[in-house]
Amino acid sequence: KAKQGRLITTHAPFGYDYHNGTFIINQNESPTVKAVFNYYIKGHGYKKIAQLLEEDDTFINRQPYQVRNIIMNPNYCGRVINQYGQFDNMFPSIVSANVYEQAQRLRSQKQTKQTPSDNQLKQKIKCPCCNATLTNMTVRKKNHILRYYVCPKNLNASRFVCDFKGINAQTLEDKVLKVCQDFYQDHHIYAKIKNAIDKRLKRQRNTETHHTLTQEKLIEKLAQGIIDAETFRKQMQSLHQQPQRITSISEHQIQHTIQNIIQKRFTLNILYPYIETIHIAKDKNLIGIYFKNEPLNIVNQTMQSSIA
């Protein structure tokens, strides 16, 4: 059967009924299938088509994923595609082959335009209303692209079923990066670098103290005639050839330098593997950033630091 393009299933897709080994058109459902293809060719997306179907009593309601399945199914133009090839005119078509293929070209064009995700916090943000993990949504305008993090429950339904509609991706990403930069500057990197510099300066002071004592001893030996002038000159010259001293660095200089490094080097791509989850409030304010294996909310830490 499959080699001949004949049906090997008794399950008819929406718009058809199964009868005597083939599909026949369901007159109640087929107008909805035609409407789906027509709306799609006009440029509407799956969710918008689902809404348009709801608004017209002559059509049967379909969810966005069901709209997508209709668009992708070659059966609607009477075509069967299996591992043995493509077989046309196998049963009555609801839409023409031209309409079906035009819809596939539109789908292909949309997929071609897709680029690697710019959403740098995907699968990290919790919905403030239902605690679902927010998903990415890209809205393409004529001259620009808008990115959002939205509740997946609203994507899978034609209408909003969760009160949280979404948040601008770029705005949230900027806030998260700024909080992380401030936290690491104030708590981690600054402390480590300052500690390292303090140790180096301490070693330098000890070395300088030793040099001072050595110089005094050489002068004393020269005065007592224990060493001659040439020996004194060589040993003093040797002291001055020691590694160049480090000039004293103020805390302000350290902080300024670290701030520049963090702002230039820290990116969300670097931080992403270490972020466990991000929480936002219903008013879209950032209220929580948690790192893996760290129970500390660094949003609270940064706020406390700024208040202090």
CATH number, domain with residue 6: 3.90.1750.20
Residue 305 tokens, joined: 């630091």
Give the residue carrying structure tokens 């088509």. 49
More confident residue, 20 or 244: 20
Minimum mean pLDDT among 91-95, 127-131, 139-143, 231-235: which range? 139-143
Q: How far is CA 104 from CA 1, 96, 108, in A?
A: 27, 13, 6
- Average pLDDT for 70-95: 88
Last residue of a domain, one of 169, 195, 225: 169
The residue type at 227: I
- pLDDT category of residue 197 using cuts at 50, 70 and 90: low
- pLDDT category of residue 285 using cuts at 50, 70 and 90: very high
> What's the total number of domains in the chain?
3
176 located within any domain: yes
Spatial neighbors of 61 by CB under 8 A, at least 6 apart, are 50, 53, 54, 158
Res 56 pLDDT > 60: yes
* 19 and 58, same domain (yes or no): yes
* pLDDT for 278: 93
* 133 and 214, same domain (yes or no): no
* 254 and 264, same domain (yes or no): yes
- pLDDT category of residue 253 using cuts at 50, 70 and 90: low
* 183 and 246, same domain (yes or no): yes
More confident residue, 192 or 148: 148
* 87 and 213, same domain (yes or no): no
More confident residue, 133 or 187: 133
110 located within any domain: no
- Average pLDDT for 21-48: 93
119 located within any domain: no
160 located within any domain: yes
* 207 and 303, same domain (yes or no): yes
More confident residue, 218 or 263: 218
Handedness of CA 191, 194, 198, 200 (dihedral sign): positive
* 199 and 296, same domain (yes or no): yes
Spatial neighbors of 31 by CB under 8 A, at least 6 apart, are 58, 59
Spatial neighbors of 133 by CB under 8 A, at least 6 apart, are 123, 124, 125, 126, 127, 152
* 164 and 185, same domain (yes or no): no
Please check whether residue 100 is in contact with residue 77, taking contact to mean a CB–CB distance below 8 angstroms. Answer: yes
Res 255 pLDDT > 90: no
Last residue of a domain, one of 74, 104, 134: 104
* 300 and 199, same domain (yes or no): yes
* 162 and 208, same domain (yes or no): no
Percent of the chain surpassing pLDDT 90: 33
133 located within any domain: yes
pTM of the predicted structure, to 2 decimals: 0.49
Q: What share of the chain is helix, strand, coil (3-state, %, to 5)?
A: 50, 15, 35
207 located within any domain: yes
At CA 158, angle to CA 153 and CA 163, rounded to 5? 45
* 91 and 141, same domain (yes or no): no
* pLDDT for 190: 54
Q: Which of 2-16, 91-105, 111-125, 182-196 has the highest mean pLDDT?
A: 91-105
* pLDDT for 117: 52
Range of the domain at 215: 170-307
* pLDDT for 81: 82
- pLDDT category of residue 181 using cuts at 50, 70 and 90: confident
Q: Which of 7-16, 65-74, 75-84, 238-247 has the highest mean pLDDT?
A: 65-74
116 located within any domain: no
* 268 and 300, same domain (yes or no): yes
114 located within any domain: no
* pLDDT for 286: 94
